[in-house]
Amino acid sequence: MKVLVIGDVIIDKYIYGTSERLSPEAPVPVVKHLREVETLGGAGLVYENLKSLGVDVTLMESDHGYRSVKTRVICDGHYVTRIDDDKRASGNAVLADVLSNDFSQYEYVILSDYDKGVLDNAKEIIAHINTFGCKVLVDPKRPASYYEGAWLIKPNMLEESQYGFGQHHWNWIITDAKGPVRARINKVMYTVEPEQVEVSDVTGAGDCFLATFVYGLTKGYDHTRCLELAVKGATEAVKHVGTHILKEADLNNRIIFTNGCFDILHKGHLTLLKEARALGDRLVVGLNSDSSVKRLKGAARPINSEDTRQAQLELIPYVDEVIIFNDDTPYNLIKEINPDLIVKGGDYTVEEVVGHDLVAVHLIPTVQGYSTTDIIKASE
């Protein structure tokens, strides 16, 4: 899935230094310059995070070089001051650029509005993009009327208190630096509690949240999982001084486990693997070894060797890791991996699933008419 980001790109500049004395001219520290760092903020930070997370993303740069610069002086780990050099892009020029473009290749379009001119004509931009069937997500800075037609709006608590986005019919996510994230998506309400961590810097947390939410959408995750990932992304961001670029390793902590012989791959297997992967960040498949299969299925099995079965599973995009085990059941492997969830087909009950006493179990409805045993019988 392709994603497009449009909005105000901000240059975040950080001057790091140390101080041992106060200035004789005023009661302020004399900062000894150590280093400077420049990063993209605003729409640029959303783009950089999506790119780092492996999303096929494009940044539409229509500001024609009119970019605001925020310079922060950090002395011995503490903010001393911030200097803003605001520049305003031509909203009409941006609109002309948008109207001349075809957006049919994009599944999601993110509008990152920092009220620096790029999205002065957001309503008209959204209307044009909607003609291509894209879902438009907005990080707002202005009243709701500016963003009519958007698929989803993501204000923070201050913006919600000012403009009341939650009163409108559209989908919304309201973030709160001091409490849970609340959302309404497709008329379903969600609440996600963030992990309590020591906050070093809130700069860019909202941009990381939105980028990670869209990352989840491109992975095919359900909205609950997308929100959980977004909260984790924002939580990770606030642990760092300065803007933070997320990596998948920052998010991949929910392990899903399933197991089986997978002797002759069929639609039922693929459906289970796809739906299992959508429930977490990593899908680990426990694969019965050849000797294990023979004990369970008889001397004529497996049809394919364990090396072949492993290679086939590893080619499936939903599978992150395949581990061969020799025991009759994966119980010891489950204890070793300690996954967050075991997924099996609906032909089991929870009590029948090996490891149900160790880990939560999720059953996925079985695709009727597909069975390795039936395939073998039909070929005889």
The yes-or-no verdict on residue 107 having pLDDT over 80 is: yes
The yes-or-no verdict on residue 376 having pLDDT over 60 is: no
The yes-or-no verdict on residue 203 having pLDDT over 90 is: no
Tell me the pLDDT tens digit for each residue of 270-281.
999 999 998 888
Residue 370: its pLDDT value, please? Answer: 59
Tell me the pLDDT tens digit for each residue of 28-61.
999 999 999 999 999 999 999 999 999 999 999 8
| DSSP codes joined into one string, 224-277 | HHHHHHHHHHHHHHHTSSS-----HHHH---EEEEEE---S--HHHHHHHHHHH
Q: What is the mean pLDDT of the chain?
A: 91
Question: Amino acid identity of 13?
Answer: K
Distance CA 187, CA 166 (A): 12
Question: Which of the following is catalytic: 63, 201, 207, 281?
Answer: 207
Residue 124: its pLDDT value, please? Answer: 97
Distance CA 161, CA 145 (A): 15
288 pLDDT band (50/70/90 cuts)? very high
- Indicate if 207 belongs to the active site: yes
CATH pick for 2-251 out of 3.40.50.970, 3.40.1190.20, 1.10.10.10, 3.40.50.300: 3.40.1190.20
Tell me the pLDDT tens digit for each residue of 206-250.
999 999 999 999 988 889 989 999 999 998 888 887 788 998 878
The yes-or-no verdict on residue 88 having pLDDT over 90 is: yes
How is the chain split into domains, by residue range?
2-251, 255-379
380 pLDDT band (50/70/90 cuts)? low
Structural element, H or E, at residue 215:
helix 205-218
As a whole number, mean pLDDT of residues 21-28 equals: 93
**pTM, full prediction:** 0.71
As a whole number, mean pLDDT of residues 343-360 equals: 93
Q: 47-77: buried (b, 16+ CB within 10 Å) or exposed (e) per residue?
A: bbbbbbbebebbbbbbbeebbbebbbbbbee
Closest CA to 363 of 258, 255, 265: 258
- For domain 255-379, the question of CATH label 3.50.50.60 is answered with no
Residue 220: its pLDDT value, please? Answer: 86
